[in-house]
Amino acid sequence: MTFDINRPWMTLDPWQLDYINSTDTNCFLLCARQVGKSAACSIKMGKIACEKPSSKILMIAYTENQAYLLFFKTLQYIQAVHPDMICKGAKKPTKHQIHLKNNSVIMCYAAGNAGDSVRGMTLTNLVIDEAASMAREVADSTFPMISVTGGKIDLLSTPKGEIGFFYECSKRADFKKFYVSAEDCPRHSKEFLELQKQTMSKNSYMQEYCAVFISDLRRLFDEETIKQCCRLKRPGFINPGIYYIGVDIAHRGEDLSVFSVIQKLEKDKYRQVESIATRHTRLTETYDKILELNRLYKPIYIYIDDGGCGSGVMDFCLQNSEVKRKVVALNNSARPLNRDETQNKKILKEDLYSFMLACLEHHKLLLLDDEDIKLSLASVQYEYVVKEGHSSHFRIFGQWTHHAESLVRAAHGLRDRRLGIWVR
């Protein structure tokens, strides 16, 4: 039977069947991208909830959006296979809970940085998705929930280096291990994987598609840095002042477009005041949002990634008298290396990230206490790429970096020496 993305339970791989039937033990899933770990977990939790009355299942991830993806697949499975089990009326499914007629309930919440938002529950099953991005405090907060019931834990993730509680659990004997490579998945074509292998570094390919813990891959922003810098609330009003805006533009509308706003408070002191994310946004809508933010904050500069789809937005901005002298395409920019600006250096992605990291570590910049921002920073990794016959170089990459990409552009305003004035 041909694989159907809406009915994955019809064409399960052998490892998926083994995992789904492993209900009496903790399970550790170290999987490559798009091999079916979320589909298998959603089916397993749906079966447990339907077949074991009074089951209490909690699904968590770093952010609510991440957790909801797994939760929605579980609801989709139950609706297709056991529709009569789902409660209606006051107990009908919501974005956070599915109640069944056998008194089982499946819950979905964001764990955040420490798991404090889900403390206090008693569970029969705990599922942690994308566990490699989470801090050890999440495990400390949630693992006790299954103690008195003899419940089970399922950990799912693509690896993120040899660090964190997810990596430590890979060594524990009380977890049944499932290691799944994209090269063993029948839904990945050999041609696609070969192309990825040619365009990615060996380390990142091994991590993303072979599900291997790589010691040479590290997180750029560690947990302590994220905790120390992400602690501001949104002001709720706009004060006159000096603002910078950074924009990360979605590729063909498929990903997030993110707009970050940073305000200068005093010399060497800055704060983020807003972060806005839009999904499936047309280029004209992104352009309109830039104009809206310009009128609200009157920024000195608006920094845009003009690569790919960003070039279209940049063209729109350059034709508008409101913003044409404010927009800066960082892909084509250079920063001065000396006082008289006779020597310049092209601004690279690694340069932007390194500068913002230094600002955070020296407490020059504080960010919003926002789970999407924290997740984005936590997902940024780096490596030193060494290829025979080529110079070694520092490379930064990540899976959920839209907020981080927007932030590093806005943070560039902290060192931009241009005055931001002109004569009509």
8-210 to CATH, choices 3.40.50.150, 3.40.50.300, 3.40.1130.10, 3.40.1160.10: 3.40.50.300
- pLDDT for 337 equals 45
The answer on pLDDT for 380 being more than 70 is: yes
Q: Where in the chain is the domain with CATH 3.40.50.300?
A: 8-210
Beta bridge partners of 179: 30
Q: How many CB atoms are closer than 10 A to CB 116?
A: 12
Residues in CB range of 360: below 8 A, 6 or more apart: 221, 225, 228, 229, 367
Mean pLDDT of 320-337: 77
The answer on pLDDT for 418 being more than 80 is: no
Secondary-structure breakdown of the chain: helix, strand, coil percentages, each rounded to the nearest 5: 40, 25, 40
223-414 to CATH, choices 2.30.30.60, 3.30.70.260, 3.30.70.380, 3.30.420.240: 3.30.420.240
- CA separation for the pair 318, 314 (Å, rounded): 6
Q: Which of 41-45, 112-116, 284-288 has maximum average pLDDT? A: 41-45
Q: What are the b/e assignments for 308-344, b being 16+ CB within 10 Å? A: ebbebbbebbeeeeebeebbbbbbeeebeeeeeeeee
- pLDDT for 248 equals 92
Mean pLDDT of 71-79: 95
What separation, in Å, do the N-terminal and C-terminal C-alpha atoms of the chain show? 68
Q: Where in the chain is the domain with CATH 3.30.420.240?
A: 223-414
- CA separation for the pair 39, 236 (Å, rounded): 40
The answer on pLDDT for 424 being more than 50 is: no
> Is residue 275 very low, low, confident or very high in pLDDT (cuts 50, 70, 90)?
very high
Mean pLDDT of 363-384: 90
Q: Is 379 exposed, middle or buried (0-12, 13-18, 19+ CB in 10 A)?
A: buried
**Helix or strand holding residue 258 (H, E):** strand 256-266
Backbone angles phi, psi at 348, to 5 degrees: -105, 165
> What is the model's pTM?
0.72
- CA separation for the pair 335, 416 (Å, rounded): 8
- pLDDT for 71 equals 93
Q: Is 2 exposed, middle or buried (0-12, 13-18, 19+ CB in 10 A)?
A: exposed
> Is residue 378 very low, low, confident or very high in pLDDT (cuts 50, 70, 90)?
confident
